[in-house]
Structure formats: structure tokens, C-alpha cells
Structure 1
Amino acid sequence: MSARVDSVHVSPTHTFSKSTTPQIELVEGVGVRGDAHAGTTVRHRSRVAANPSQPNLRQVHLIHAELLEELGMTGHRVGPGQLGENITTVGIDLLDLPVGARLHIADAVVIVTGLRNPCQQINDFQPGLLKKVLRKDDSGQVHKLAGVMGVVARSGTVRPGEAIAVELPPEPHYALTGV
């Protein structure tokens, strides 16, 4: 299966889940038009409280639909947009991308900046869900599975079904960490 957009989502307010829509408009240097998290500086409330002038490395949130399927097999029914993502993808291993990977979606380009930091709001949404998206392996290493964050490098409209092409950055590649 080739990488593609499964669905797109937006919320003009700081709600946990986002509404599914037929298309979203990505705006270079800003994020998703009409989304509460769009802006050149941080928009996530906890980060605004810490330092409102930091650059917004979380303009676009992407989650792979395969995670939602996996969560379903553990008894958690989670649909597209319900974990707050703007773009739900299919056929791409988002978590294994390096920092700086460029995702070409139609005319738009999103540069991957890091992993989403899962927080208590995920348990507020569904009790026990945080442990499913924030796991420790046998060596004690924590794995963040709740998708990736990115910034918009080129504006464009994104719709379900659009192909996603990955352009890797020059080597050396650096693993994603939380942003």
C-alpha cells in the first residue's frame, strides 16, 4: 500500500479531538488554517504558559491509522481525529522518520519536527489509553506512539486520498524526540 492521507481534521478551539472535514489548508510557517494550534509561536496552552515566544514546532499533528487499528485490538475505540491529529495517514511509518523528513502532500510540504508528547488528556479521553500510546520496552526505554508533529514549509490544500511522498534529509539522520 502506498502512503496516503486517510482523513483530515481541524478545530478552531482547544478541544482534545478535532472534527473531520473534506479538506484542510496548510499555510506556510503557520499550520492548519482555522485550527487553534496554528501560529508561528507556540499555541499549545502548556507551552504558552512556559514561554509564549518559542517557535511553534507543532503546527501540524499527524497520526498513522494503523495506530488506531492497534488500539482497537486492545479494546480502545478511537476514530480519526479523536486524538487531536490534523492528518490521519495510511501506509507510512511516521514514527521511524528522522527529524527534518519532508512530507509532500499534494502541493503542500510538512517538515517533521518530532514526536507528540502524550499527556494526561489522553486518559481523560479514555481511561487507560495513555499506557497504550506511551510504552516502556523491556530495557526501560519509553516509546511515544501518538504520532508526529511538523511545520508547514509550503502551503497547499490536503484532502483524503492524497498521496504522501517522503523526502529524507541529508545524513546523518536523527531519531525523533518529543517536541
Structure 2
Amino acid sequence: MSKGEVIAINISERRGTQKKEITEADLVKGFGVENDAHGGNWHRQVSLLSFEKITEFNEKGALVGNGAFGENIIISGIDLRQLPVGSRMRIGEAELVVTQIGKECHKHCQIYARVGDCIMPREGIFAVVVEDGHIKKGDQLEVI
């Protein structure tokens, strides 16, 4: 089993806006992160990104903050991109299932416009919430 740590939780009130960091949140079965504009009954309820990939990107001079890629949860200690679709993860009582690896970027984001690259399309993963739970910064994510 792989384990990682929740480094940040991010939400946005409207789609198309940068997410802001919060210290804790409820993951809602069949919806995603409570109060996040990207939640809903679809296959990309929660987006996750590896802290190490963000760090590598920033070392190239990007200097982007938490939530800048539109990611809901930043995890340290696991290369999330290596988890296959169908992988199950638990953070506290909450359980998620990976539904998509990466995404197509139809129109380049502000980060891409500024630095000529964005890691979310190739490094981000998406999941659905299958069990409710409260999560907070510092919690452990366990691949089950």
C-alpha cells in the first residue's frame, strides 16, 4: 500500500477562477469537495496533483501557488500519475476512486500563457467520492 500526505485542499466558488486554499473540507459522496464549483454528478468530482510535481515545475521558474492548476487536493509522497484508473484511495473516512489520468487542455490556462507549460493536463488525476468524509491538511492518503 502506498501512503501520502495531504499538503493542501483548494476550492473555488466559480468555474474558471483560481482555487483558494482551505485547511479542511468535507468530501461528499457523488459530488466531490463541498462548496467547490467543479463538484457534481460527473467523473471529475475531485482533482489531485502531486506536491513533488508542483515543486519540480516551480524549480523551472514558474512560482505558482497551491490551487493555481485548479487542483482540489495536493498530495506529497505518491506519484499520483502512476495510479491506474479504478484505484481506490482513502483519506480518513472518505474514499475516492480514480476515474481519469490527465486531461485535454482545450484552451491554455493563465499559467501556460505565462510560462509556456502547465502540468495539470499530464500530471493531474481525477476521482469520484464513493464514501463521505471530513479531510484536513496533514491527513494521510492511503491507496487501498
Match of 2:132 in 1: 155
- Report the TM-score, using the length of structure 1 for normalisation: 0.73
**Alignment-mate amino acid for residue 7 of structure 2:** D
Match of 1:29 in 2: 30
- 2:100 maps to 1:104: no
- Is the alpha carbon distance of 1:63 and 1:146 closer, same or farther for their aligned partners in structure 2, counting shifts above 3 Å? same
- 1:79 deviates by 1.5
Q: Which has the higher strand share?
A: 2
**Aligned Cα root-mean-square deviation (Å):** 2.1
Contact 1:63 1:87 in 2 (8 A): yes
Q: How many residues align?
A: 143
Greater relative contact order: 1 or 2 (C-alpha under 8 angstroms, separation 6 or more)? 2
C-alpha distance in structure 2 between counterparts of 1:152 and 1:130, whole Å: 33
- Report the TM-score, using the length of structure 2 for normalisation: 0.89
Contact 2:87 2:98 in 1 (8 A): yes
Task: List gaps (5 residues or longer) in structure 2.
Answer: none
Match of 1:7 in 2: 8
1:1-179 counterparts in 2 under 5 A?
2-40=3-41, 56-119=42-105, 122-127=108-113, 129=115, 131-133=117-119, 144-167=121-144
- Is the alpha carbon distance of 1:22 and 1:122 closer, same or farther for their aligned partners in structure 2, counting shifts above 3 Å? farther
Task: Find the structure with the greater CA-based Rg.
Answer: 1
C-alpha distance in structure 2 between counterparts of 1:112 and 1:19, whole Å: 23
Extract structure 1 runs of 4+ deviating beyond 3 A: 120-123, 128-132
SS state at 1:127 partner? helix
Task: List gaps (5 residues or longer) in structure 1.
Answer: 41-55, 135-143, 168-179
Identity percentage of aligned residues: 32
**Deviation string for 1:82-132 (max 9, x for gaps)?**
111110110011000011111100110110111231525554234264535
- 1:74 deviates by 1.1
